[in-house]
Amino acid sequence: MESLKRQEIINTPECKGMRTVISARPASFNAQQLPARYECKMSERRLAPVGRIEPAQEFRRLKAEALQFVAPATRRSRYQQADTPTVGPNSEASTGPTGIPNIHVPSAFAGVQDTGWTPPEGCLAVSSNHLMIAVNSACAVFDRAGRQLLYGELKDWFAPVSQGATIYSPKVMFDHQRGVWLLAACAREVNRFRSSLLLAVSQSSDPLQGWWVWSLDAAMDGAIKTTNWPDGLGLATDNSAIYLSANMFGDQGRFSHSKIRVLYKREAYAGAPLHGWDYWDFRNQNGTVAFGLQPASNFGSTDVQHFVNATQDGQSMTVWSITQPLRMPPQLARKHVATLSYRIAPNGRTGEGREIETGDTRLGNVVFRNGSLWTAHSVSANWGGDTNVAAIHWLQINPLTGSVTQQGIFGQRHHHYFCPAVMVDRHSRLMLVFNRVGPYDNPAICFTGRRANDRLNTLQTSALLKQSKVPGGQVWSACSSASLDPSGSDFWLMGQYAIDRDAWATWIGETTYAPHASDYPPNYPKDYSKDFRSPSVRSRSRRNLTYA
């Protein structure tokens, strides 16, 4: 290990890098053997670790300042677009604009309910036959009709490799290229000052069958031992590698640095010990520490993995790109992307005066599709009133030129828009799911989007997916979740809503854009059948279309 430390550490102005210590062999288990549980709720509520770049006191000060202070970053600009939803206060109706379909049962159903952990930090992934949902601190498998097939606590899922640790910040994805599932989570043993990155890979496309699981030492930066622990986990794959990203914090909870662990896909998918590389201590172009690196979800074959983070000066994004040359260390490049000015959003407030946490400026998620990176985050905006509100800053970025293709700030006067997640289909049609709360509205899950030929820098009017009947608790997830059906045209959306004063639940909806000639190039064969699920599955999408 000392030889590894001396000879293979990489120091650059952008970050540090080093080969990781080889992992142990994975344990194996069958999902059918998990203890039988059905949404077992703990007797006492537990707060999942949530790390921020600012100390707690400074974060509270910034939140209070964000409500009243009207800075250039919040003054109304031509990039601000006021949403005009047609739903009434606390309505259950779902009303969509032209091109965005209504969502009706059975294309919308309840996901996982309150597990006793706060916040849920839910994540959704979809295959041809299953949906998989991960929250703090449980995982569930559904069929596409909304029937729950499996529910397991993360402590049971990773029991072969992790005992007695707090498991949190889960991420789940389906590798469309290889037809396997991946589930990852952070783990921390406070008393032993040990932290882990937990990884599970299915042995087939059926999440109800066999899995391999690994416990990787998160405190190791390459071969260098620290006492840091991770939060804000990211998970992605490209042609050859699995990528785990995290924000790393010291013993006292202070942010240390961001980190990426690169693992070789061929080893993970064969159930072998894992080799890889660590990159850490990322620096933006101005030398500031990078926080909240989000890996891009990829569709199709790609030899490059992109990451994006919002910078702390509120003026730009940083795009990181990792390539895997044959028999060489992964190569990393950095690009500075100038954006609209932005700043942290104020917390939301319900009509009853309950405060709703809207988070910081970290990105919800990132999608790489057709040569563009798409992302969104919560920021402060002013629509002409005396106080600011939370709004959604969304962007399309060209990673080759390091420039913004289009962007906008989406929201509404007196309402807070926050907790966004994006997804993009093969025709570059965007879908964005988020939460909204206002003076007469309890927290709601809403969605919007845009076609590729819509006017630049604009989104369509939002539609309602699920309305809370009660105000709910203060602590909220950092982002919602969106996934794309393997068919390439059906979007699956998931968000958090309130079912009691201090209890949350998740709600899942399926939607698709109606076929439209403008979505296709001039010589594209007009075969819209691929926009729908196979007739043998008794397509539910076709009934939900609103034709443009």
286-336 pLDDT, tens per residue?
999 999 999 999 998 888 999 999 999 999 999 999 998 766 778 899 999
Which pLDDT score, from 0 to 100, does residue 75 have?
Answer: 62
- The number of CA neighbours under 13 Å toward the Cβ of 218 is 32
Which pLDDT score, from 0 to 100, does residue 433 have?
Answer: 98
Task: Read off the pLDDT of each residue in 145-158 and give the average, rounded to a whole number.
Answer: 95
Choose the most confident range, by mean pLDDT, from 12-21, 190-199, 255-264: 255-264
Q: Look-up: residue for tokens 């998990």?
A: 34
Lowest mean pLDDT among 2-11, 214-223, 269-278, 461-470: 2-11
- Provide the percentage of residues in the chain whose pLDDT is more than 70: 85
DSSP string, 350-419: -TT--EE----S--S-EEEETTEEEEEEEEEE-SSSSS-EEEEEEEEEETTTTEEEEEEEEEBTTBEEEE
Residue type, 242: I
- Which of 53, 19, 9, 17 shows the shortest CA–CA distance to 257? 53
Distance CA 421, CA 367 (A): 10
Write out the two tokens for 52.
């921020």
pLDDT classification of 521: cutoffs 50, 70, 90: low
More confident residue, 324 or 515: 324
Q: Answer whether 213's CB lies under 8 Å from 27's CB.
A: yes
- The number of CA neighbours under 13 Å toward the Cβ of 166 is 18
> CB neighbours (10 Å) of residue 503?
16
Q: Collapse the DSSP code of 306 into the 3-class scheme (helix H, G, I; strand E, B; otherwise coil) and give the result.
A: strand
Choose the most confident range, by mean pLDDT, from 134-148, 325-339, 341-355: 134-148
pLDDT classification of 48: cutoffs 50, 70, 90: confident
Task: Read off the pLDDT of each residue in 444-451 and give the average, rounded to a whole number.
Answer: 95
Three-state secondary structure along 216-275? EECCEECCEECCCEEEEEEEEECCCEEEEEEEEECCCCCEEEEEEEEEEHHHHCCCCCCC
- The H or E element that residue 169 is part of is strand 166-175
Choose the most confident range, by mean pLDDT, from 86-95, 267-276, 383-392: 267-276
Task: Read off the pLDDT of each residue in 436-458 and give the average, rounded to a whole number.
Answer: 94
The contacts of residue 306 (CB under 8 Å, 6+ apart) are: 295, 296, 319, 320, 321, 322, 366, 368, 373, 399
- The H or E element that residue 109 is part of is strand 108-113
More confident residue, 257 or 486: 257
More confident residue, 103 or 257: 257
Which pLDDT score, from 0 to 100, does residue 45 have?
Answer: 80
Q: Look-up: residue for tokens 């992992």?
A: 23
Which pLDDT score, from 0 to 100, does residue 478 have?
Answer: 85
Distance CA 149, CA 451 (A): 35
Question: Does 123 have pLDDT greater than 90?
Answer: yes
Measure the N-to-C terminal CA separation of the chain; round to a whole number of Å. 62
What does the radius of gyration of the chain's CA atoms come to, in whole angstroms? 22
Distance CA 243, CA 263 (A): 6
For the chain, give the mean pLDDT: 87
Question: Does 72 have pLDDT greater than 70?
Answer: no
Which pLDDT score, from 0 to 100, does residue 8 have?
Answer: 66
Question: Does 545 have pLDDT greater than 70?
Answer: no
Lowest mean pLDDT among 86-95, 212-221, 268-277: 86-95
Lowest mean pLDDT among 21-30, 206-215, 419-428, 538-547: 538-547
Q: Answer whether 360's CB lies under 8 Å from 309's CB.
A: no
Task: Read off the pLDDT of each residue in 446-456 and give the average, rounded to a whole number.
Answer: 95
Write out the two tokens for 78.
């031509």
pLDDT digits (tens, 9 = 90+) for 7-18: 467 888 899 999
- Provide the percentage of residues in the chain whose pLDDT is more than 90: 71
pLDDT classification of 94: cutoffs 50, 70, 90: very low
The contacts of residue 246 (CB under 8 Å, 6+ apart) are: 186, 197, 218, 230, 231, 232, 233, 234, 258, 259
Cα-Cα-Cα-Cα dihedral sign, residues 259, 263, 265, 271 = negative
Question: Does 532 have pLDDT greater than 70?
Answer: no
Which pLDDT score, from 0 to 100, does residue 70 have?
Answer: 66
Task: Read off the pLDDT of each residue in 114-128 and give the average, rounded to a whole number.
Answer: 95
Task: Read off the pLDDT of each residue in 141-159 and give the average, rounded to a whole number.
Answer: 96
Which pLDDT score, from 0 to 100, does residue 326 have?
Answer: 64
Fold of 17-70+99-513: Methylamine Dehydrogenase; Chain H (2.130.10)
Question: Does 408 have pLDDT greater than 80?
Answer: yes
- In the chain, where the domains are located: 17-70+99-513
Question: Does 3 have pLDDT greater than 70?
Answer: no
